[in-house]
Amino acid sequence: MDIFYFLIFPGFLFAALVGLVFTWVDRKVTARLQWRVGPPFLQPFYDFGKLLSKEITVPKQGERISFLLAPFLGLLATALVATILGFSIVFPARGFIGDLIVVLYLLIIPSLAIIIGGFAAANPLSSIGASREMKMIMAYELPFILAILVPVIKSDYSVNINLIMLSQQQHGATAGSLSGFIAFIVCLLVVQAKLALPPFDIPEAETELMAGPCIEYSGGLLALFKLTRAMLLFLLPLFLVILFFGGISVSGWHLLAGILKIVLVLVIIVIIKNTNPRLRIDQALRFFWVNCTLLSILAILLAYLGL
Amino acid sequence: MEKKEVIVPIGPYHPLLEEPEFFKLFCEGEKVVGIDWIAGYNHRGIEKISEGKSYDQVPFLVERICGICSTSHPLAYVNAVENLVGLEIPERAKYIRTFIAEMERIHSHLLWVGLAGHFLGYNTVFMWAWKWREPTLDIMELVTGNRGNYGIMCPGGVRRDMSEEDFPFVQSKLDDIKTKVEMLTKAVLDDPVLLARLKGVGILTAQDIHNYGAVGPVARASGVAIDVRRDDPYAAYNMLDWEMVVVTEGDMLARAKVRLLEIFQSIKIVEQCMARLKEIKGDIVVKVREVPPGEGIGHAEAPRGECFHYVRSDGTNRPIRHKIRAPSYVCIPTFEKSVVGGQIADALICLAGVDPCYCCTERLSAVAENGKTLDGETLLRLSVEKTEALKAKGTPV
């Protein structure tokens, strides 16, 4: 049964399908913002299928095994995140104390996979991209963890995702308070960076590094990276909604409201993506370490004071 | 410990470049420590083809040097021929030429703004600027019949007259562009993230501009006031009221500023042209019967700077030598100054900052072997020798 949860629902397959639909929302909203028509609904599925049918090339000088395994590593971790987050909503009993911390760890793994793949490809552009990705992880993880302490404090120091959600359903959403709102803003920016969207698409910088770490990937392996990214596009907004907007409950109207919340967060992310140019790596580093870290420390202090 | 340099290749095919071109960035980590430029992917032998065309046919050829500044080259060429013949063209033709040249500047600068946004990862600006550029193409289509290569310049005047009936349409579209560009200028100059990326990046001082001989908006952004339209007026520029836009900072922001502000000046010039064209009637072309032996030079201020043409005649109906120097040719070497020492991310926006046009630039390819440059005859001999060798082997050629 566990394998069903992991592979079908709420794990891999479910997250992948919803993720691809979410990339369609991203592409459609982007297109409308840019006075374009945008792709048809099934376009992300067509793209995925097309990539699967293409040839996989492995660079001769690259590190073959890590090059081939990296995309799977990212995908497995993401599917596990989907399972844990899904459990906390659908089967609260299956949650465990500390699953928040596990999710935080697992969310780093897709980025690590990109770094491994980028370095394994032995291409100067992908190496630069991978080293930038590494700097980005170091930049955003600190404010991310600090900001996530706020909902933990708010829910009476529980590190169980389901308890955080329940406490919000009783006392109101975390984002409704001042500290929660500040923490939400910080987390939103970090999510932007985790998804490698402008202004933090520095590792992939299309016009500089030509997709950076993914430059040597083709065919099915590239499709896996894209799928991981698509799943994260669904899971990270879901994670934010769980932590700051009281999550989702699966009964009638509440489910619809939950979906609306996720889509709203997604649309905010897409709007930020389309109204900003790419930052330079040193600027991004300074932004996360100084501005965001200070903001999250402020938020923690406020939360401690009960604001 | 010895530091290891990595070569980051920008090109020959790269999303940053609309055309094939190759820049090697020598990098230590994220820092650029050197740059090399390898040209020659775009050589089409235009100057040689031009020697086989009659004077009237050449404008169509040089128009196809570049798709973006497709009227600067014909304009510089007809200036050269008129200089050679010693011809004064009708006043109406002068205004029509000015009109076309300035409309082209508007479209080219808007195109650059869009591309600059794209290079910074700001695709919304890319799409919006290009949408707002559409009306200029509509105007061109109405006035000249073409959206791209206008085919309007000919030695002695212009090929097609403008009709007064079109002016209200042109004016309404211009007003449209004006409000949009005002909004865009404000948005660019107010956006903190854009400022962070542009300000103080790729600085070129006035001295650097003199040293490299850079021209056009790049020079004017560094406080060097050069503009062919004012320094050696052609067409109707000395009869119109306009100002040269000069900014002194010399960074990327200044280059963007110069181009955005020049759009307003161009709109002003186009409006004056329309007002004058309503008053001036008469011929639009003087027939050029004969081109005497001699040489002529002509230049025009293309959107990217001074475009220079030299024509030599031996009295027949074809130029025996036609030399072209496009503005990017002198602007590209400034990369050595603006790019080296910066980060990779800054280097790339600097490459875009001079608005380089590679198909304009590549007039000559030199082939070198063992450090020795091979001339045309040697190349021909080598080619014949190889053919002979292949034939001798019996391999199909």
Q: Where are the domains of chain B?
A: 46-361
Are residues A51 and A219 in contact, defined by beta-carbon separation less than 8 angstroms?
yes
Q: Which of A34, A127, A280 sits opposite B123 (nearest CB)?
A: A34
> Contact A210/B8, CB-based, under 8 Å?
no
Question: Chain B interface residues facing chain A, Cβ-Cβ under 8 Å?
Answer: 6-9, 14-16, 27, 29-30, 117-128, 131, 191, 193-194, 196-197, 343-346, 348
The answer, yes or no, to whether the previous bond of B168 is cis (omega within 30 of 0) is no
Q: What is the pLDDT of residues B351-396, one digit of tens each?
A: 777 777 766 666 555 666 666 777 778 878 887 887 787 777 765 5
CA atoms of A39 and A23, how far apart (whole Å):
10
Q: Which residues face B36 on adjacent strands? A: B24
Q: What is the pLDDT of residues A51-88, one digit of tens each?
A: 999 988 888 888 889 899 999 999 999 999 999 888 88
Q: Containing H/E element for B347?
A: helix B344-353
Q: Is B170 exposed, middle or buried (0-12, 13-18, 19+ CB in 10 A)?
A: buried
Query: What amino acid is encoded at B360 in this protein?
Result: C
Nearest CA in chain A to B28: A128
pLDDT surpassing 80 at residue B15: no
> Contact A277/B6, CB-based, under 8 Å?
no
pTM: 0.83
> Contact A207/B6, CB-based, under 8 Å?
no
Residue at token pair 């009109």: B99
- Residues in chain A with pLDDT values less than 50: none
Domain definitions of chain A by residue range: 2-304
- Cα–Cα distances in angstroms (integers) from residue B93 to residues B34, B170, B234, B311, B358, in the given order: 48, 18, 12, 22, 30
What pLDDT is recorded for position B340? 83
pLDDT surpassing 90 at residue B42: no
* Site from B30, B131, B132 to mutate, A interface, most A CB atoms within 10 angstroms: B30
Residue at token pair 């004006």: B178
Has domain B46-361 been given CATH number 1.10.645.10? Answer: yes
Query: What amino acid is encoded at A154 in this protein?
Result: K
How many of the other CB atoms lie within 10 Å of CB of B168? 10
Tell which residue, B178, B182, B255, B196, has the closest CA to residue A279. B196
User: Please, what's the b/e burial string for B310-340 (b: 16 or more CB within 10 A of its CB; e: otherwise)?
Assistant: bbbbeeeebbeebbbbbbbbbbbebbebbbb
pLDDT surpassing 60 at residue B397: no
Q: What is the DSSP letter of B2?
A: -
Tell which residue, A190, A189, A187, A181, has the closest CA to residue A154. A181
Query: What amino acid is encoded at A102 in this protein?
Result: V
CA atoms of B341 and B33, how far apart (whole Å):
6
Question: B199: which 2 tokens?
Answer: 């300000």
Q: What is the pLDDT of residues B330-354, one digit of tens each?
A: 888 888 888 888 888 888 888 777 7
ipTM of the complex: 0.80
Give the model's confidence band at B1: pLDDT under 50 very low, under 70 low, under 90 confident, else very high. very low
Provide, as residue numbers in chain A, all residues whose Cβ is less than 8 Å from the Cβ of B113.
Answer: none
What pLDDT is recorded for position B161? 86
